[in-house]
Amino acid sequence: MSTRTRWTLTGALGLLLAAVLASLVLATWADRVLLNEDRFSARIASTLRQDDMNRYLTTEITEQVLARVPELIGLRPGVEAVLSEALRTRTAIVGARSALRAVHRDVRSGLAEESINIDLHAVFTLAAALMERGAPDMAERFEAGLDTTRLDAGAVGLRTGVFERLEQLADVAWPLAAGMGLLAVGLVVVAPTRQHGLLVGAAAVALAGLLGLAGQRLAEAWFVQQLPAREEARVAVTLAWRSIFREYTGWNAGLLALGIAGLVGVVATATLPDRRSVRDFVVASPWGRTLTGAALALAGLAVALWPLDAVRVIAVAAGILLASGGVVLLLRSVLAGVRDVRSVRPRQQTRLADTVRRMRVAQLVAGAALLTMVVAGGVIAVWFGGTLRAEPSPVEPAPITVCNGHEALCDRPLDQVTFAGTHNSMAAASLRGWYFPVQRHGIADQLREGVRALLIDTYYGIPSPQGVLTVIDPDIRRPQLVAEHGEEVVAAAERIAANLAADAEPEAYLCHSFCELGATPLGAVLVDIRDYLDANPGEFLVIIVQDGITPEDTVAAFEAADLAGRAYAHPPGAPWPTLGELVHEGTQLLVMAERDAGAADWYQPAYDHLLQETEVRATTRAALDCRPGRGSAEAPLFLMNHWLTTRQALPSQALEVNDPGFILDRARRCTEERGQAPNIVAVNFYDAGNLFEAVDTLNGVARGSEAAPRE
C-alpha cells in the first residue's frame, strides 16, 4: 500500500473516529441528563434564582395577572416584587421541579400538546400569601389574577418532539463505543507509522470536542431564534439551555483539551511529515483537497455567522498554538538533552552542564526581549488601531416618500397634521418601579406602535440604593406640588427623602410629581428616541416638556443624545413647512417647554405663541368638552387633552374615552367651537380603544375617511 493511500485512509478513519466520538458523547449526555426527568427538571428549576430567569418569569406571570385584573396595573411594582420573591424561594424551586418532571413525562410519552403548560400552583400560592401579609386590602384582587396556575411553556421555547431522535441515539451508545474502539485500532494499523496514527487519533479526539462545542452553539442559535422576539425571553431560554448543557459543554471541552495534550505529546516525540508530504496530501490527493476545502468553507461560514465569537476562538486557538509550540520545543529540548547526556563520557559531562547553563541564561534574555516586543506591539496596535481603519464609503440614503406612516402627509404643513400623543408618556407599567402608571408600555414601544407626540415631565432626582429621591426646590417646585397634591402629600415625601441615604449629585429624570413613585433617566429616553429616528428618517415627533429642570440642562441632554441638530425652531408668525420638507432636511423634532424655554432657539415656549389646549382636568366622559385651557386662541397648534383625571388612571377608563367614535365626535365639536382641528390628541393607555384609527381619520388617511376641516 502506497504512502499516499495510507494517508488517505488514515484521514478518513480520523474523521469517522471524530464523528463517532462526538455522537457517543451526545448519546451519553442525552441519556444521563436530557432524558432523565430528575436531572432535567433540577437543571431548569435551579435557574429560578438567577436574575435573568427570575426577571423574565416575573414579567410573564405579572402580564397574566394584569390581563385578568387590569385594575391592579397601578400596583404593578408591588405585584412584581411579590412574584419575584416567591420565585426565589425553595418552595417555588421544589414546586417547579415537580411540575417540570410531569412535563418531561408528558413529552416523552407523547401526551403533551404542541404548547405545554407548566403548573406553578406552589409559586402562586406562596405569592398570594406574601401579598396577604404585605397588602391585605389588595390580596383578594391579586388572587383573582392567579386563577390560572399554569404558565405556557411555549413562551420559553419548550416544545414536544424534542427527545425522539436523542432517544434513538442513546439506544446505540454501546455500538458507538465499540465502533470507536475499532476505528482507533484501525487508525494505528493503517497509518504510515504508529506515531502518525497516534497523531491523527489525537487530532480526531480534539476535533470531536470541537464539533460538540460548535454543534451546541449552532443548536442554541437555532433554538433561540424560534422564540418570541422579546429579548427577555431569549436571555431566559439561553440561560436554561446552558444550564441543561453544563455537563455536555464540560465533556466536550475535556475532549478538546485531551486531544490537544495528545497532539503535544506526539509532536514532541514524533518525526513529523516533511513539507512536501503535507503539500502533496493537500494539493494532489482528492481526500486532501476535499478535507481542506470543507475545513476552509466551514471556518469561513462560522466567521460570517459569529464574527465576535470567531475573534475569541482565533485568539484562544492562537494562544493554544503558541503554548503547544512552546511545550513541544521544551520537550524536544529535554529529550535531546537526555540523549546527549547519555551519549557523552563522564569527563565531558561537567563541561556540558556549564554549556547548558549558559544557554539557559541566553534563552531567558531572548525570551524576555521577545515578550517585551509582543506586549509593546499589542499596546501600539490597540492605541493606534482606530486610526488605521479605512473610512467606510458613503452610502446615498434612500429618498423619503412616506412621512409618519403615510405618503399623503409628506405634503402637509406641520400645523395641518394630527399626531397621536400620550399623556405622561414616561409613566409606563412595563417599566420597573413605576407606581400609578398611565401608559402600559414605555416610550420606545410607544414610538414603534405609532405614538408621535410625547408629553413628558422632567425633574431633578438623586439616585440612591432605595430608589430615586425627588429634589424639591422650596421656592418653585414645592408650591407647584402643594397646589397639585396638597401640603400633606408633599410633607410626607420630604420626610421619606430625609430618612433615605443619598450622597450622589442630582441628575435629570422623567418623573410624575415624585421620583420615588417612578423615575427614568432623561438621557436614556432621549437615546431611545434618537435610535428610533435613526431607523425611521421619515418620522416626525412633537415633544412637550413639563419642565422641572433648567433649560440649559434640558438642551444639554438633547445635545448629548445627538437630538439638538434635529429639532425645528419655528419663527413666530412664519408659515409652517411640510413634514416632507422637515424630514428631508433631517429635522424630526418639535420641542416645547411648558414653563421655561430658552438656551437654544429650538427649545421654544409652548403656550406663549405656539400651542393652545383644552382644559386638563376632567373626571367624567361628559366633562371632556372643548373649554380652553392654557395658550392663546391664536396659537397655530391645538392640543386636545383627552383623558380622565382621577386618583388612579385605569385602563377601563381609557377604554371608555379612547373609543375612536368618541374621539372623532369631540374633535369635530372642538374644531367647530375653537376654529381649529386638533394637532395632538393625547390620551392615557394609548393601547386601550383605538387612538390610531381616530388620528388616521382626522388626517384623512384612513380608508373611507375624510380629514376634519382645518382653518
* 569 in a structural domain: yes
Calculate mean pLDDT across residues 528-543. Answer: 93
Calculate mean pLDDT across residues 660-681. Answer: 95
Residue 673 has pLDDT above 50, yes or no: yes
Residue 213, C-alpha cell as written in the block: 462545542
d(CA 561, CA 523): 7
Tell me 34's DSSP state: I
Calculate mean pLDDT across residues 429-437. Answer: 83
Q: Are residues 685 and 580 in the same domain?
A: yes
- Weakest-pLDDT range from 94-108, 436-450, 561-575: 94-108
Give residue 367's domain range: 323-373
In whole angstroms, what separates CA 245 from the centre of its chain?
Answer: 22
Residue 383 has pLDDT above 80, yes or no: no
* 709 in a structural domain: no
Q: Are residues 345 and 482 in the same domain?
A: no
Q: What is the 3-state secondary structure (H, E, C) of 609-667?
A: HHEEEECCCCCCHHHCCCCECCCCCCCCEEEEECCCCCCCCCHHHHHHHCCHHHHHHHH
Calculate mean pLDDT across residues 621-644. Answer: 94
Question: For residue 208, which of 59, 376, 18, 364 has the smallest C-alpha distance?
Answer: 18
* 223 in a structural domain: yes
Residue 566, C-alpha cell as written in the block: 434635529
Query: According to the model, what pLDDT value does residue 477 have?
Result: 63
d(CA 417, CA 413): 7
Alpha helices, DSSP H, located in 536-638: 551-560, 579-584
Query: According to the model, what pLDDT value does residue 114 have?
Result: 44
Q: Are residues 573 and 661 in the same domain?
A: yes
* 318 in a structural domain: no
Calculate mean pLDDT across residues 92-120. Answer: 62
Residue scoring higher pLDDT (613 or 102): 613
- Buried b / exposed e over 192-221, threshold 16 CB at 10 Å, is beebbbbbbbbbbbbbbbbbbbbebeeeee
**pLDDT > 70: percent of the chain:** 65
Query: According to the model, what pLDDT value does residue 277 have?
Result: 65
- Weakest-pLDDT range from 28-42, 63-77, 154-168: 154-168
Q: Are residues 369 and 423 in the same domain?
A: no
Calculate mean pLDDT across residues 23-32. Answer: 84
Query: According to the model, what pLDDT value does residue 430 have?
Result: 83
**Could you tell me if 448 and 537 are in contact, meaning their C-beta atoms sit under 8 angstroms apart?**
no
- Weakest-pLDDT range from 232-246, 319-333, 421-435: 319-333
Residue 164 has pLDDT above 50, yes or no: yes
* 469 in a structural domain: yes
Q: Are residues 586 and 669 in the same domain?
A: yes
Residue 333 has pLDDT above 70, yes or no: no
d(CA 385, CA 364): 31
Residue 38 has pLDDT above 90, yes or no: no
Query: According to the model, what pLDDT value does residue 273 have?
Result: 59
Q: Are residues 97 and 141 in the same domain?
A: yes
* 471 in a structural domain: yes
Condensed to tens digits (0 to 9), the pLDDT of residues 47-76 reads: 777 887 788 778 877 877 777 777 777 677
Query: According to the model, what pLDDT value does residue 475 have?
Result: 61
d(CA 661, CA 690): 9
Residue 371 has pLDDT above 50, yes or no: no
Residue 164 CB coordination number (10 Å): 12
Q: Are residues 446 and 518 in the same domain?
A: yes
d(CA 118, CA 101): 10
* 523 in a structural domain: yes
Residue 384, C-alpha cell as written in the block: 493606534
d(CA 544, CA 452): 11
Residue 410 CB coordination number (10 Å): 19
Question: For residue 454, which of 467, 441, 436 has the smallest C-alpha distance?
Answer: 441
Q: Are residues 558 and 675 in the same domain?
A: yes
Query: According to the model, what pLDDT value does residue 660 have?
Result: 93
Residue 354 has pLDDT above 70, yes or no: no
Query: According to the model, what pLDDT value does residue 61 have?
Result: 77
**CATH number of the domain encompassing residue 681:** 3.20.20.190
- Weakest-pLDDT range from 332-336, 542-546, 624-628: 332-336
Q: Are residues 666 and 537 in the same domain?
A: yes
Of 273, 294, 312, the position where a domain reaches its end is 273
**Could you tell me if 603 and 567 are in contact, meaning their C-beta atoms sit under 8 angstroms apart?**
yes
Residue 626 has pLDDT above 80, yes or no: yes
Query: According to the model, what pLDDT value does residue 282 have?
Result: 60
d(CA 44, CA 104): 12
The residues near 13 (Cβ < 8 Å, ≥ 6 apart) are 183, 186, 187, 190, 200
* Structural domain count of the chain: 4
180 falls in which pLDDT band (50, 70, 90)?
A: confident
Q: Are residues 347 and 441 in the same domain?
A: no
* 466 in a structural domain: yes
Calculate mean pLDDT across residues 237-253. Answer: 79
In the chain the first and final C-alpha atoms are separated, in Å, by 97
d(CA 48, CA 31): 24
Calculate mean pLDDT across residues 93-100. Answer: 71
Condensed to tens digits (0 to 9), the pLDDT of residues 121-133 reads: 556 666 666 566 5
Count CA atoms closer than 13 A to 654's CA, side-chain side.
24
The residues near 555 (Cβ < 8 Å, ≥ 6 apart) are 564, 599, 600, 603
Chain-wide mean pLDDT for the chain?
Answer: 76
Q: Which amino acid is at 587?
A: T
Query: According to the model, what pLDDT value does residue 313 have?
Result: 62
Of 238, 273, 308, the position where a domain reaches its end is 273
Residue 374, C-alpha cell as written in the block: 509582543
Look-up of cell digits 399554569? 150
- Weakest-pLDDT range from 365-374, 396-405, 594-603: 365-374
Q: Are residues 46 and 172 in the same domain?
A: no
Q: Are residues 152 and 244 in the same domain?
A: no
In whole angstroms, what separates CA 506 from the centre of its chain?
Answer: 28
Expressed in percent and rounded to 5, the helix, strand and coil fractions of the chain are 65, 10, 25
Cβ-in-10-Å burial (0-12, 13-18, 19+) of 167 comes to: middle
Of 109, 136, 162, the position where a domain reaches its end is 162
- Paired sense of beta strands 453-464 and 541-547, if any: parallel
